[in-house]
Every structure is written in structure tokens, then in C-alpha cells.
């Protein structure tokens, strides 16, 4: 049966010409492609969320580093950087230093 089918395919192709044998997109292949695209879109969305979160965390750390530098260079002599709360505090009062360092 295969030989008869193969012979039919070769009669449509002449030497020196381009012969295109279609795989024939079946409904199953189209459904598989649709599902793969849907999965790709879902994972793309998830990757974007992860990247946005990582960027947000990076920006937070970056701002804290800048704030620490400003605190340490502050004109307020009793100001110190509190690493747990990421704030510039006055050593005498324990309150956040709001002027002279930002």
C-alpha cells in the first residue's frame, strides 16, 4: 500500500522541478500549536512579572544605598544609618533625621 502511495507522489514531481510535499496541517497539529502559543504567552507574562519585581527590588536597594551615602555625609553630626530599617536616625533622639541629608 505504501509503494502505491509513494508512486503517486513521484508522478507529480518531474526531474529538475521543485516538488512540494505538504505535511497537511491537521486539526491536531493546529490545536497543539495553539496550546504551545498559549503556554508561551503565559510563561512570557510570568517572566515579565518576575523581571518587574526584580527591577523593583533592585531600585529599592539602589535608593537605600544612595540614602545611606547621603546620611553618612550629612551635616547632622549625630546622624547614623540604621541598616535594619534603612533610615537615617539621630543618635540622641532616635528619630529619623529628615533635613540636612536628603
pLDDT digits (tens, 9 = 90+) for 3-30: 444 444 445 667 777 766 666 678 899 9
Task: Find out whether 88 and 96 touch, Cβ atoms under 8 Å.
Answer: yes
Question: Which pLDDT score, from 0 to 100, does residue 23 have?
Answer: 65
Question: What one-character-per-residue DSSP string does 55-93 give?
Answer: HHHHHHHHHHHHHHHHHHT-S-TTEEEETTTTEEEETTT
Per-residue model confidence as pLDDT tens digits over 63-102: 999 999 999 898 889 999 999 998 999 999 999 987 655 5
Q: Tell if the pTM clears 0.75, that is, is over it.
A: no
Question: Which pLDDT score, from 0 to 100, does residue 102 have?
Answer: 52
Domain boundaries, the chain: 35-102
* Stretch (H or E) spanning 77: none
Amino acid at each position: 500500500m505504501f509503494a502505491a502511495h509513494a508512486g503517486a507522489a513521484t508522478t507529480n514531481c518531474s526531474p529538475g522541478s521543485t516538488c512540494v510535499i505538504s505535511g497537511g496541517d491537521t486539526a491536531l497539529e493546529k490545536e497543539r500549536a495553539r496550546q504551545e502559543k498559549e503556554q508561551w504567552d503565559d510563561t512570557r507574562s510570568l517572566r515579565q512579572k518576575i523581571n518587574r519585581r526584580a527591577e523593583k527590588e533592585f531600585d529599592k536597594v539602589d535608593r537605600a544605598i544612595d540614602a545611606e551615602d547621603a546620611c553618612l555625609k550629612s551635616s547632622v553630626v549625630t546622624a547614623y544609618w540604621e541598616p535594619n530599617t534603612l533610615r537615617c536616625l539621630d543618635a540622641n533622639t532616635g528619630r529619623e533625621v529628615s533635613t540636612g541629608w536628603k
